[in-house]
Amino acid sequence: MASGQVEAEMTRRLEAALAPDRLTVKNESALHAGHAGDDGSGESHFAVEIAASRFEGLSRVARQRAVFNALGDLMDRIHALRIKAEAP
Protein backbone atom coordinates (compact mmCIF):
# COMPACT_ATOMS: atom_id res chain seq x y z
CA MET A 1 0.00 0.00 0.00
CA ALA A 2 1.40 3.36 -1.01
CA SER A 3 2.10 6.01 1.60
CA GLY A 4 -0.91 8.23 2.23
CA GLN A 5 -3.43 5.48 1.65
CA VAL A 6 -3.91 4.03 5.15
CA GLU A 7 -6.62 6.51 6.18
CA ALA A 8 -8.60 5.90 2.98
CA GLU A 9 -8.30 2.13 3.35
CA MET A 10 -9.40 2.32 6.99
CA THR A 11 -12.50 4.25 5.91
CA ARG A 12 -13.26 1.78 3.11
CA ARG A 13 -12.97 -1.25 5.38
CA LEU A 14 -15.01 0.22 8.23
CA GLU A 15 -17.79 1.30 5.87
CA ALA A 16 -17.89 -2.12 4.20
CA ALA A 17 -17.86 -4.15 7.41
CA LEU A 18 -19.94 -2.02 9.78
CA ALA A 19 -22.20 0.17 7.60
CA PRO A 20 -21.84 3.12 10.00
CA ASP A 21 -24.35 5.91 10.36
CA ARG A 22 -21.44 8.21 11.18
CA LEU A 23 -17.70 7.71 10.65
CA THR A 24 -14.68 9.92 11.12
CA VAL A 25 -11.15 8.63 10.59
CA LYS A 26 -8.46 11.12 11.56
CA ASN A 27 -4.72 10.80 11.04
CA GLU A 28 -3.07 12.01 14.26
CA SER A 29 0.45 10.93 13.34
CA ALA A 30 1.82 14.47 13.24
CA LEU A 31 0.97 14.82 16.94
CA HIS A 32 3.27 11.87 17.69
CA ALA A 33 6.25 12.65 15.45
CA GLY A 34 9.44 11.45 17.10
CA HIS A 35 7.58 9.40 19.73
CA ALA A 36 7.72 5.64 20.14
CA GLY A 37 5.91 3.93 17.31
CA ASP A 38 6.45 6.76 14.84
CA ASP A 39 7.79 4.91 11.82
CA GLY A 40 8.28 8.08 9.78
CA SER A 41 5.50 7.19 7.33
CA GLY A 42 3.13 9.83 8.66
CA GLU A 43 0.52 7.09 9.02
CA SER A 44 1.09 5.43 12.36
CA HIS A 45 -1.43 7.02 14.74
CA PHE A 46 -5.17 7.34 14.08
CA ALA A 47 -8.46 8.17 15.77
CA VAL A 48 -11.78 6.64 14.76
CA GLU A 49 -15.20 7.89 15.81
CA ILE A 50 -17.93 5.57 14.58
CA ALA A 51 -21.63 5.11 15.23
CA ALA A 52 -23.24 1.97 13.84
CA SER A 53 -26.48 0.14 14.46
CA ARG A 54 -24.46 -3.09 14.68
CA PHE A 55 -23.04 -1.82 17.98
CA GLU A 56 -26.47 -1.84 19.65
CA GLY A 57 -26.31 -3.95 22.80
CA LEU A 58 -22.54 -4.53 22.56
CA SER A 59 -20.10 -3.66 25.31
CA ARG A 60 -17.38 -1.07 24.73
CA VAL A 61 -14.82 -3.86 24.35
CA ALA A 62 -16.98 -5.75 21.85
CA ARG A 63 -17.40 -2.56 19.80
CA GLN A 64 -13.63 -2.03 19.75
CA ARG A 65 -13.08 -5.64 18.72
CA ALA A 66 -15.51 -5.16 15.84
CA VAL A 67 -13.45 -2.18 14.64
CA PHE A 68 -10.20 -4.15 14.92
CA ASN A 69 -11.76 -7.10 13.06
CA ALA A 70 -12.97 -4.79 10.29
CA LEU A 71 -9.49 -3.33 9.86
CA GLY A 72 -7.90 -6.79 9.80
CA ASP A 73 -4.30 -6.91 8.58
CA LEU A 74 -4.24 -3.13 8.20
CA MET A 75 -3.61 -3.05 11.97
CA ASP A 76 -0.09 -4.32 11.20
CA ARG A 77 0.65 -0.82 9.81
CA ILE A 78 -0.96 1.13 12.66
CA HIS A 79 0.91 1.75 15.90
CA ALA A 80 -1.89 3.48 17.83
CA LEU A 81 -5.63 3.64 17.30
CA ARG A 82 -7.98 5.67 19.50
CA ILE A 83 -11.56 4.41 19.12
CA LYS A 84 -14.88 5.96 20.10
CA ALA A 85 -17.54 3.46 19.01
CA GLU A 86 -21.21 3.86 19.84
CA ALA A 87 -24.68 2.93 18.72
CA PRO A 88 -26.61 5.75 17.02
Whether 53 shows a pLDDT value over 90: the answer reads yes
Residues 41-51 have pLDDT tens digits of 557 889 999 99
Pairing of strands 80-86, 45-51: parallel
3-state SS, residue 67: helix
3-state SS, residue 19: coil
Q: Which residues contact 65 (CB under 8 A, 6 or more apart)?
A: none
pLDDT of residue 35: 63
The pTM (predicted TM-score) of the whole model is 0.84
pLDDT of residue 44: 81
Query: Which residues face 86 on adjacent strands?
Result: 51
In contact, 44 and 37? CB cutoff 8 Å: yes
- Give Cα separations from 50 to 20, 35, 43, 60 (angstroms): 7, 26, 19, 12
Domains of the chain: 6-86 (3.30.300.90)
Question: What is the identity of the amino acid at 47?
Answer: A
Whether 76 shows a pLDDT value over 60: the answer reads yes
